[in-house]
Structure 1
Amino acid sequence: MTDPERERLAALRAAVPLLATRAYLFSGGIAPLAEPVRAEMATWVDRWAGDPLTHRADYFGDWGRLRTEFAALVGAAPAEVAITENTSRATNLALRLLGLPAGSTVLVDDTTYPTMAWAALRHGLRVRLVRRAPDEAAVDAFAALTDPGTSCLAVSHVAALDGYRHDLADLAGLCADRGMRLFVDAAQSTGVVPVDMARDGIDALVSTAMKWLLGPPGIGFLAVREAAATGTPLDVGYVSARIADSYQLTELPPVPSGAAGTEVGLAALPLLAAATAGIRLVRAAGVDTIADRVTHLVGRVVDGLARRGLTVLTPAQPRWRAGVVAFAVDDAPALAGHLREHGVDVWGYPSGRVRVDPHGFNDDDDIDRLLEGIDAWQTRR
């Protein structure tokens, strides 16, 4: 890593005050608050208190800036991006816009976030679960179950439960060969893994601000390539109708096709500039640079857990993992609570797994602190 890259990561770390006292290692759940994000939220509230018309005059300014930032992050055109409330809402909208044939099959696997499968069923599609062997490439498992009635492959780029990372280029090649759409939930990858919809052959992508993009809860993202947006937005509102103060009540106004037509009313206005600030922090540090740091830190976590005899659920092969590390342990919430007492924040699930999600602002000292906390836990037991 070059000196400029280290300096950018140091600046990113300095922007998160919590890191001065804690090793925060759960950015895949909710990111810690960065100072520029806090400042934008405070500025919105202050302006609202002092002169509400300041915001009224620029409702769509912050909206457009956020759309542009996210589009640049994922290799989409701004017109192909919509701001939503969350990833689940974006998922339902994406399936509507993709216009998949009724009764056709959507392939999913163990990485697929459940909303993707449930939304497909709700939209009158069939869902087929693909089971991948531990050392099998996902593209081979999907290829084996593809048939002429398969219209879409729906995956989470990085799995929330075990951190498996798909090779999107491989999946896109399969989709192109078989005439399928590639639909990607990128909530666990945008900001920590380079994503480019055009380069990676992604037809539809959804994500959220509150995780690796360092933004606030309440903002989601939808991106659908223009050529893939063959469906019609179902809902309509004054935003999608692009009306001012003149309209006809007995005539349906023209509504834009694609993602733009899904924005029917006001977004969460106080959060837009804050979400933009989070993305700008990520882009300033550089997603490639963040990815390199996270690859190093994840490797240290995986190796450290294995040396301590813990069962690592995340793939051993670096090419199949990203920022999420999961391992099995009895009484996972208790271990997570123990680590919190030692200034280390992870997440423990009642099902018996702990997740550790280092970001680009984390460093080796944070990982040392995590492993020392686990040592203390094992000694105590």
Structure 2
Amino acid sequence: MTVANSTAGGLAGLRAAIPLLATRAYLFSGGIAPLAGPVRTELATWVDQWAADPLVHRADYFGAWGRLRDEFAQLVGADPDEVAVTENTSRATNLALRLLGLPAGSTVLVDDTTYPTMAWAAISHGLRVRQVRPTPGQAPVDAFAAALDAGTSCVAVSHVSALDGYRHDLAALAGLAADRGVRLLVDVAQSAGVVPVDLRRDGIDALVGTAMKWLLGPPGVGFLAVRAEAVAADGCPDVGYVSARIGDTYQLTELPQLPTGATRTEVGLAALPLLAAATAGIRLIRDAGVATIAGQVERLVQRVCAGLASQGVPVDSPRDSATRAGIVVLRVPAATQLADQLRRGGVDVWGYPSGRVRVDPHGFNDDDDIDRLLAGIAAFRTGNDR
């Protein structure tokens, strides 16, 4: 079953770029993206050039780096100098906290959406962490407002929760943070690429993310973006020859002039073979259009939720489209067995021993993928009822 829509051209092109989809319904982009043709080409080209003439890459270390930084900056509404390429989201989170220069002993407010690395990194940086738990029916922003006091320096959340797909209202959180004079740190690993995000429009002080999920890039590449006005003067003391921007001459006994923004955290070479590959992934997303992808994802999520409801399968994810994104979490006995059976049938999701199955539709997915998923779940449940 295929439903036509006015954005089919861009989404069809995105789907065509991923060979795996010719035979499989891949529905776990929030874990690791399927390999797209242009991403694979960039990886293979780097290796081939390395084998034939290593100096080709030596001459363009920073060209590929800058192109990736520019692509991510455009994706999230930042200036290139406000963006740094890192190894992963966790590294980016630690760097963001250092750049923000939050006062030692001050409090960082988190909630159930907050990826654990953000809380653990705050503790390791000498900060206190307090978890906010909204009461039933209470908006998260109101729960944060009630918990925020004079000792609070930052609100830290995952834009979209990996646990159930809940999506925060960033504008509301940013308004609260601005009113109370605290920083807003956002993990966009589960939203960048499938939910429009803009550093300035959304009032975010710092955001962190990864290439390997919804951005269709390879593992080993993360991102950090910090608004220039939010960077503390002494927020990141690490230094290396990349951040020092040294030329052919330098003084060993004098610290060079360092950049003032996020790029100062890039102290040594990145994983060079991955830079152009990550750039290719982001370009696929931007060519299709994040808003277009978001619309397709919401439509497919609605189909998943409706199909599960018709089967009587409980869903943990929010029912309101304004507070969810591309993650659907369903509750079933024998979740890992269900995921294994679906994989054998050509449908890729993820099952957890706790009885949860996660389904992550992307813009490249279509109605046939959802039909295969729902049919596979129905077959599994029928078989288990015998």
Letter of the structure 2 residue corresponding to residue 242 of structure 1 = R
- 5 Å-filtered alignment, 1:318-357, equals 318-357=321-360
1:373 aligns with 2:353: no
TM-score normalized by the length of structure 2: 0.97
Query: Number of residues paired by the alignment?
Result: 381
Q: Give SS of 1:257's match.
A: coil
2:265 paired with 1:262: yes
Q: Which amino acid aligns with 1:209?
A: A
Post-superposition offset of 1:133:
3.3
* Residue in structure 2 matched with residue 78 of structure 1 by the alignment: 80
Deviations 1:233-253 (A, max 9, x none): 121100001112212222222
Structure 1 CA distance for aligned equivalents of residues 258 and 331 of structure 2:
49
Deviation, structure 1 residue 222: 0.3
Cα deviations by residue, 1:318-351 (Å, 9 ceiling, x for unpaired): 1110001111122211110010011100000112
CA–CA distance in 2 between the matches of 1:195 and 1:214? 17
- Are 1:301 and 2:301 matched, yes or no? no
Gaps of 5+ in 2: none
Is residue 300 of structure 2 the alignment partner of residue 273 of structure 1? no
1:193 corresponding residue in structure 2: 195
Which one-letter code corresponds to 1:290 in the other structure? I
2:247 aligns with: 244
2:290 aligned to 275, 287, 292, which one? 287
In the alignment, which residue of structure 1 is the partner of 2:61?
Answer: 59
Which segment drifts farther, 251-260 or 45-54? 251-260
Q: CA deviation at 1:51?
A: 0.5
Secondary structure class of the residue paired with 1:177: helix
- Return the match for 2:43 from 41, 53, 77: 41
Equivalent in 146, 149, 152 of residue 150 of structure 1: 152
What is the distance in 2 between the residues matched to 1:68 and 1:39?
Answer: 20
Stretch deviating more after TM superposition (322-331 or 186-195): 322-331
Per-residue Cα deviation, 1:248-283 (whole angstroms, up to 9, x for no partner): 222222221221110000000000000000000000
Aligned to 2:141: 139
Judge which range, 82-91 or 243-252, deviates more.
Answer: 243-252
- 1:105: which partner in 2? 107
State how far apart, in whole Å, the 2-side matches of 1:304 and 1:135 are: 26
- CA distance in 2: counterparts of 1:258 and 1:94, whole angstroms: 11
What secondary structure is seen at the aligned counterpart in 2 of 1:107?
A: strand
How far does residue 134 in structure 1 lie from its aligned partner after superposition?
4.6
Q: Distance in 2 between matches of 1:97 and 1:2?
A: 46
> Percent of aligned positions with the same letter in both sequences?
74
Shift of 1:352: 1.5
Q: Give the Cα–Cα distance (whole angstroms) in 1 for the partners of residues 203 and 9 of structure 2.
A: 33
Task: Write the deviation string for residues 38-63 of structure 1: whole angstroms up to 9, x where unpaired.
Answer: 00111111100110000001100000
Q: Would you say the 8 A contact 1:233–1:257 is kept in 2?
A: no
AA in 2 matched with 1:313: D
SS of the aligned residue for 2:165 comes to: coil
Structure 1 CA distance, aligned partners of 2:319 and 2:353?
24
| Rounded Cα–Cα distance in structure 1 between residues aligned with 2:307 and 2:111 | 29
Q: Any stretches of 5+ residues in structure 1 without a counterpart?
A: none
Question: Residue type of the partner of 2:305?
Answer: V
- Give the RMSD, CA atoms, in angstroms: 1.1
Measure, in 1, the Cα distance between the counterparts of 2:137 and 2:188.
23
Which position in structure 1 is the counterpart of 2:176? 174
Q: Is structure 2 residue 320 aligned with structure 1 residue 313?
A: no
Q: Secondary structure of 2:129's partner?
A: strand
Q: Distance in 2 between matches of 1:340 and 1:137?
A: 37
Scaled by the length of structure 1, what TM-score is found? 0.98
Matched residue, 1:358:
361
CA distance in 2, matches of 1:54, 1:287: 33
Counterpart secondary structure, 2:217: coil
- The residue matched to 1:378 in structure 2 has which SS? helix
Letter in 2 for 1:143: A
Matches within 5 A, 1:111-130: 111-130=113-132
**Separation (CA, whole Å) in 2 of partners of 1:131 and 1:332:** 27
CA distance in 2, matches of 1:160, 1:236: 33
Q: Which residue of 2 aligns with 1:159?
A: 161
Please say if 1:92 is aligned against 2:94. yes
Segment drifting more, 203-212 vs 249-258:
249-258
Code of the aligned partner of 1:188: Q
Confirm or deny: 8 A CA contact 1:233 1:258 kept in the other structure: no
Deviation of residue 132 (structure 1)? Answer: 1.9
Q: What is the CA–CA distance in structure 1 between the aligned matches of 2:165 and 2:136, rounded to whole Å?
A: 13
